[in-house]
A and B are shown apart, each in its own frame.
Chain A
Amino acid sequence: MSFSILHFSDLHLEAAFATSRLPAKVARRCREQLRQTLRRIMEIANYRKADAVTIAGDLFEREHLTPDTATFLAQEFAALAPTPVFIAPGNHDAADAASLYQRGHWPENVNIAIKPGLTEWRLSKEYSLWMAAHLGPSERQNFLNNFHLPEAAARPFPILLLHASAVPNHFEDSRAHAPLTLEEIRKAGFTLALLGHYHTARVMRHENVVAVYPGSPEPLGFNENAKHGVAWLELTPGQAPKIEMLPLAALHFDSLEINVEGCAQREQLLDKIMAQATAQDLSTHFVRIKLTGQAAATLHLDLDLLAERVEKNFGYVSLENHTRPAFDLTKLAEEPTVRGEFVRNMRAALERETEKESLYREALQYGLQAFEQEEITLR
């Protein structure tokens, strides 16, 4: 008889989208979407009649948690009853003494690991779950250190549920959260590990060990533009687990690069940006556009104005100016003037200060602007 599990992790409810530099108003929409996504996950579990739901940590961000979210979680999980929900807390929702996991009112179908040591939770007659909790935001210990499944003549099939970083070896990333290797999982006696921490979905295999990272159900920034969702596992005794990745993300973060060369004035550039938006259907996407290339002297790059003009074609857009001004530096450097001397000096500095190249390039542009224009436009 098969046993089905809906596995997800790293939802990061109440996350702040600060690293993506999203305005608060936009980030609020993202946070609301995270809640909707949890509800959607519960609907999937219900619809597909999952035998259990497993959550490998970072369900929420503890620092930003509100009573409303706590109640929301409890109600969502209660609605799934009697299907059991198993939670192995991660570094963002660590199960310390003041954690919601330790003190909240959880429905009876919710099972939470609140100890750092692996403990067994029975899923069914054939399967059992072994999980442990992070007790702090910077847990570096390997949960499998000195652990081995107890010997037993006939025991249920053990499944590992953890918020951990699967690393090739312990030398590669010494600062990883709860690092472990697939070999350690194998040596501990597990063949199936349901993990969380990496936001990109992946299934890792090593000999007979299968480790499943479902990724975060929703991307949490511009650097997360792969597919996001949850994992669906069908377990049949004596057979390899069937793993299905279910795409779920409603949020999309995109980064574009648009060359401004050939755009002598603003309208040309706006047309170029809107053409990109239409071609890729970015009307619901959060897009970061990097303007590059040599900007014509006549092109006035007022980023706020540009963003205002194109924002309705995107879910959200932010513009970054990485263009170069259209100065003929070689010709300028030949001038027997202060400007020529300045250009010569700055070009020498650019060759000398390679680490600060962009800063010196910016300084050169400001300097030339100062010779040419009454007003200096900041980049």
Chain B
Amino acid sequence: MKLLELEVQAFGCLHHRKFAFHPQINVFFGRNEAGKSTLQQAVLALLYGFYDGGRALQRELHAHEKYRPWSAEAYAGSLKFQLDDGATLLVQRDFSKEEVRTQLLDAVTGEDLSHRYSRGRHGKIDFIEKQLGMSRQVFLATAFVQQGELRSYGAREASVVADAILSLLDSAATETSSERALERLERALRELASERSPHALLAQARARLDELHEKHAWCQAAHRMIQNDLMKVETLELEIEERAAQLETLERQLREAQLEILRNRLQRWRENEARRETMQNDMAALQKLENFPTELKEQFFQWRDEYLHLERLQRVQAEERSGLERRLMGLSQQSKNLQMLEPLWQTGKFEDFLTKRNRWQAAYDELVKIEEEHHDASEEVKKFGLGEAERAVLKKLDLTQLEQFNAIEAKYTDAEIKVNQLRADNKNYAHRITERNRIFNFCAGVAIIALIYAGSRFLTAETAASKVGDALLLGLSFGGLLLLLNLKNLWENQEKELKHQLELAESELLDSKRERRDVLNQYKVESVGDLVQRHTIYLKVDAVLDKNHALKEELKTLEKDLLAWVAPLGIPYIGLDTLPEAEKRLRESHQNYSTSQTLRQRAAELQTQEQEIQAKLQGYAQQLEGVLQRAEIHEPVGEKAFQAFQSACKDREYLDSLRAQKQQVEAMSIEILEGETLASLAARIKQLETELANLPPASPSHVTPIREYSEATLAAFRTQREAVLHEVNQRQQSLTALKERVATRLQDLPSLAEVEEEMALETGAIERYERARAALEIAREGIAQAAQRLHRDFVPKLNEFVGRHLEKLTAGRYTAALLDPKTFSLRVQSNDQLAPVDLERLSFGTREQVYLLMRAAVVDIFTQSGESIPLFCDDPLAHADAERLANALEVFRLLAETQQIFYFTKDQNVAKYFSARYGPACVLSLS
């Protein structure tokens, strides 16, 4: 696009100005306040207007008011421009009102082209955005360099510019951008498958499918329940049929039982009547026993039992007595040879004999033992040589004398010990005295020498003090000598005393020795102990002899007594050989005697008892006979009579029982009829038989086995019938309820097949949506990746453009530029440094120039991709030195080959530079 003409009625300080533009470069030259910036803003306002969005912003209103002219002239202007395709358009704007009037006309035909573009409020028509492919914001950030504005982009500007470049690169058609495409895909994805939105198609389809699944599950469950109910219905119907059959069988069995019971009753009545007749006949036959003494029956049997018992007892005793007599005769025969002993047994006892005999045996054994002791004692006496004389002397010796002799012996021994002790003491003392005398002699000598020495010193002493000392020594020596003499005297006294005691002891020893010798001589023994031993032996022998004598005497007495027992047996003496035989025979005789006596006594008792029994028997026989006569039994008292009486008793009892039975049978007949008559019974039987004939046959599986026909059976049948009827009713009710339930469920139940079909449709829709989602996601991803890749491509282009012109601008000092596409921050490669240099480290002027190049590079990219874009620069090289300015202007000249440039400056050199190259028409002077 190239601007051709600008006409301003009034805009800020500009009034009625018209400019025709050079196609390549236009230099607006003027001093400060000449209106250069206003003119720049006028072009901007005619291209983009003051307003972007629907609602006027404060800054937009402010800008609109800022350039409102003070005069009453129209706040308006027009701009003619030509597109790269040759079309010439004219935009006219009237800024007088807030609602700016805007027209876009074909400059050749005058056709209003405004309708081709969307209109907004405040006269907004987006023709320039569409034609240049950049918004006001991007235009301001790139092609429209205002005074003092060459600096690094802020974050927002960088983003906007980057987006604009990307949008430009997105498509050949500027209205189609990857961002829009991505937005559309995102929107389609959201509408299709947003996870958060319940209104998304996929979510809705899934929700519907879930509902259908639930519905399907519910349907299946309902179907299962209906199936179950139908099975129950069938079961119930079968059960009802079963019970109906059971009921029929029960009815039949009930009637059969009733019939059987009636027949039984009839039969029982007939049997009862037959029994009654039989009893009647029996009772007639037993009528003769009418007067039988029943009341005496018990008494009779008691007497009978006593009578029979006594009879038996009598027989037993007779047998016993006979046996006793036979035994007595036997005993009499057996003890014929021992009869002479019987008087003995009448006065004495066999135990007395045994006592004496035992005593004799003991005395005899003791005597034998004493004899042996006597023999031993005699031997000992001989051993000690005790003759008669000695024994006579010993006989006179008593115990008192022996004690005296022992005392003499002890005295002698003590005296001897004492003498020996004293002799030893004397000897020891004599030895000690010898030692002491030796010491005494030495000490006495020393004392005497000291006495002599002290005496001589005293005598020769010159001083009183010496004399006192010598006198003291003399006294001590004398005292010591006296002490020694006393000790000597004491020792001699003690020695005399000891000798005197020894003499006395020796005298006592001699006396006791003499006394002991007299005793020993008297009994001709060696010692008193010997005498005591001899005396003990003597006493022992004497005691044996005495006991021997006493035993012999006792034996004689015993033998005399025993001879009285054994002599009748022909035994002449008592001895060890005769006594056992005697004892044996005496024992036998005594036993026979005792037995005979017992038997005789028993025989006597039996005789007495027999007499008593006989008397009792006679008494019972009379009483029994009386009863028999009353019972008209003419048999003598005895077994036969008793049997007859017993038989009569039974008959009489039978008669009584017949009477009772007859009454019972008669009562039973009444009971069997139960108040009915035979005719009514027969009629009922006939009626039941008719009913049974009309009933269907019984079902064998339902027949209840009957053990007996009774009212209980009937009651059981009736109970069973009631129970079955109850069950049938219950089942009928359940059946009706089930059928109603099935009908209700079926009424509300959707077709399972239809639900499945709906599910299949929804599943198909979900599959379609899932597939569409997958495809949309692939498309989104693909576009995003493509955009990303292309976005990377514009950076090298920018770097190349900036680097190319930078080298010229800096006369080869900087050779390359490195742009960060996110922040649009630049680094430059220096010739003398390996690493790139951050732009912020360069001088202010250089920085401005590099930023100008970067903007030009962006404009160049836009120009290459579509419509060429005019570049507006308001004194961009104000801080450049002469050389750098020359280089920069050369760069501008190059840029002007591809795009129209509007250069606003107050620098004459710049005007001259371009004037020289493009002619004076390119310089527009503002004043």
Contact = CB atoms under 8 A, between A and B. Distances in A.
Interface in A208-230: none
B230 A338 contact: no
Given A67-B230, A335-B171, A339-B176, A366 B759 contact: no
Interface stretch (A12-20, A239-247, A258-266, A284-292): A12-20
Given A345-B785, A363-B782, A24 B185 contact: no
Contacts of B756: 16, 18
Interface in B180-195: 180-182, 184-185, 187-188, 192
Interface string A16-32: 11110111100110010
Interface stretch (A43-51, A125-133, A294-302, A368-376): A368-376
A335 B790 CA distance: 12
A359 B771 contact: yes
A338 B169 contact: yes
Nearest to A61: B753
Contacts of B774: 359, 363
A345 to B, nearest CB: 5
A346 interface: yes
A23 B765 CA distance: 12
A198 interface: no
Nearest to A17: B757
B779 A339 contact: no
B188 A337 contact: no
A367 B783 contact: yes
A370 B782 contact: no
A103 B777 CA distance: 55
Contacts of B769: 378
A338 B780 CA distance: 12
B775 A363 contact: yes
B169 A337 contact: yes
Contacts of A336: 169, 172
Interface in A326-379: 335-339, 341-342, 344-346, 349, 359-360, 362-367, 369-376, 378-379
Contacts of A373: 184
Contacts of B223: 63
A5 B126 CA distance: 85
Contacts of A342: 178, 779, 782-783, 786
A98 B227 CA distance: 8
Contacts of B752: 16, 63-64
B761 to A, nearest CB: 6
Given A367-B783, A371-B171, A374-B184, A341 B775 contact: no
B751 interface: yes
Nearest to A364: B779
A337 to B, nearest CB: 4
Interface in B754-809: 754-761, 764, 768-769, 771-772, 774-780, 782-783, 785-787, 789-790
A2 interface: no
B778 A363 contact: yes
B231 interface: yes
B778 A359 contact: yes
Interface string B795-838: 00000000000000000000000000000000000000000000
B786 A27 contact: no
Contacts of A360: 775, 778
A349 to B, nearest CB: 8
B170 A339 contact: yes
Q: Which residue of A23, A61, A335, A371 has the most chain B CB atoms within 10 A of its CB atom?
A: A371
A66 interface: yes
Contacts of A372: 176
A251 B844 CA distance: 89
Contacts of B779: 342, 346, 363-364, 366-367, 370
Contacts of A27: 753-754, 757
Given A18-B760, A21-B760, A363-B778, A341 B789 contact: yes
Contact of B790 (A66, A341, A374): A341
A335 B226 CA distance: 68
B746 interface: yes
A362 B767 CA distance: 14
B163 to A, nearest CB: 13
A377 to B, nearest CB: 9
Nearest to B235: A103
A366 B753 contact: no
Nearest to B755: A24
Contacts of B227: 98
Given A339-B171, A371-B176, A24 B754 contact: yes
A337 B184 contact: no
A324 to B, nearest CB: 14
B271 interface: no
A342 B176 CA distance: 13
Contacts of A378: 188, 192, 201, 768-769, 772
Interface string B714-753: 0000000000000000000000000000100010000111
B188 A376 contact: yes
B840 interface: no
B379 interface: no
A349 B786 CA distance: 13
A61 B757 CA distance: 14
Contact of B751 (A28, A105, A341): A28
Nearest to A360: B778
Contacts of B230: 67
A63 B216 CA distance: 12
A92 to B, nearest CB: 12
Contacts of A371: 171, 176, 178, 180-181
B751 A64 contact: yes
Given A21-B760, A338-B783, A15 B184 contact: no
B181 A24 contact: no
A93 to B, nearest CB: 14
A373 to B, nearest CB: 8
A362 B176 contact: no
A102 to B, nearest CB: 10
Contacts of A370: 180-182, 184-185, 188, 779, 783
B203 to A, nearest CB: 15
B234 interface: yes
Contacts of B787: 338, 341
A361 to B, nearest CB: 8
B149 to A, nearest CB: 31
A364 B139 CA distance: 34
B184 A376 contact: yes
A67 B226 contact: yes
Given A335-B171, A339-B176, A366 B185 contact: yes
A66 B742 CA distance: 11
Contacts of A376: 184-185, 187-188, 776
Contacts of A14: 753
Nearest to B760: A18
B57 to A, nearest CB: 28
B771 A362 contact: yes
A363 B786 contact: no
Nearest to B764: A21
Contacts of A18: 753, 756-757, 759-760
Nearest to B778: A363
B171 A19 contact: no
Nearest to B785: A345
A339 B185 CA distance: 14
Nearest to A367: B779
10 contacts: A14-B753, A21-B757, A336-B169, A338-B787, A339-B176, A341-B789, A363-B779, A364-B782, A370-B184, A378-B192
Given A366-B775, A376-B188, 8 more contacts: A14-B753, A16-B760, A21-B757, A336-B172, A338-B783, A338-B786, A346-B779, A363-B774
Interface of A: 14-19, 21-24, 27-28, 31, 61, 63-64, 66-68, 98, 103, 105, 335-339, 341-342, 344-346, 349, 359-360, 362-367, 369-376, 378-379
In the A-B complex, the 6 residue pairs with the smallest Cβ-Cβ separation, listed nearest first, are: A18-B760, A341-B786, A367-B779, A16-B753, A363-B778, A370-B181
